[in-house]
């Protein structure tokens, strides 16, 4: 597996992912892990339009993504995995996919969330998932764009959710 990036982003493929992260990481394929989008031709079409022309796109369920990644279906392609929720990365790791770092880029504010940054808000259930990812050896960062400073997600949680 040649995973060069993994990002939690509610918007999936959009300007920051397509125009900043993809060229910065020299991504050859974006893998969107989202059950709903994988079943919707309309959502897949929108994601394809947002994806750079020079980049391939796969929109898959966690099961299919794990199978393809574990069986090295993408060869030596540089892969960028994007999902709306941190649970998808836990799903992939539990299915044997090796992910070293997850960048949390956009989790919108909700009724039961605490804002960690302008772009990242979490609830207690999210924190529990992040703790499980940490326990599995995953480094968790918050970084909006490649030009921004990277911050340790768990330090932000410790500071903001006391």
Quote the pLDDT of residue 152.
97
Q: Which of 11, 14, 56, 160 is catalytic?
A: 14
pLDDT band at 161 (very low <50, low <70, confident <90, very high): confident
φ/ψ of residue 46, rounded to 5: -60, -40
Task: Give me the percent of the chain exceeding a pLDDT of 70.
Answer: 99
CATH architecture of the domain formed by 3-160: 3-Layer(aba) Sandwich (3.40)
pLDDT tens for 102-131 read 999 999 999 999 999 999 999 999 999 999
Domain boundaries, the chain: 3-160
- Does the pLDDT value for residue 1 go beyond 80? no
| Known active-site residue 14 | yes
Q: What span, in angstroms and rounded, lies between the C-alpha atoms of 49 and 89? A: 24
d(CA 88, CA 95): 11
Q: 3-state SS of 13-24?
A: CCHHHHHHHHHH
Rg (CA), the chain: 15
Q: How far apart are CA 84 and CA 104, in angstroms?
A: 10
State the average pLDDT for the chain. Answer: 96
Examine the pLDDT at 93 and tell me if it is beyond 90: yes
pLDDT of residue 162 exceeding 80: no
- Please write the tens of the pLDDT for every residue from 32-61: 999 999 999 999 999 999 999 999 999 999
């Amino acid at each position: 597996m040649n995973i060069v990036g993994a990002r939690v982003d509610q918007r999936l493929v959009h300007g920051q992912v397509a125009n900043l992260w993809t060229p910065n990481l020299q991504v050859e394929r974006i893998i969107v892990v989202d059950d709903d989008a994988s079943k919707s031709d309309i959502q897949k079409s929108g994601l394809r339009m947002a994806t750079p022309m020079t980049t391939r796109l796969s929109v898959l369920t966690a099961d299919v993504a794990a199978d393809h990644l574990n069986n090295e279906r993408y060869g030596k392609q540089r892969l960028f995995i994007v999902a709306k929720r941190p649970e998808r990365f836990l799903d992939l790791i539990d299915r044997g996919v090796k992910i070293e770092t997850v960048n949390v880029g956009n989790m919108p504010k909700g009724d039961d969330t605490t804002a960690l940054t302008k772009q990242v808000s979490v609830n207690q259930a999210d924190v529990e998932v992040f703790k499980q990812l940490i326990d599995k050896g995953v480094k968790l960062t918050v970084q909006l764009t490649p030009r921004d400073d990277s911050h340790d997600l768990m330090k932000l949680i410790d500071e903001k959710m006391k």
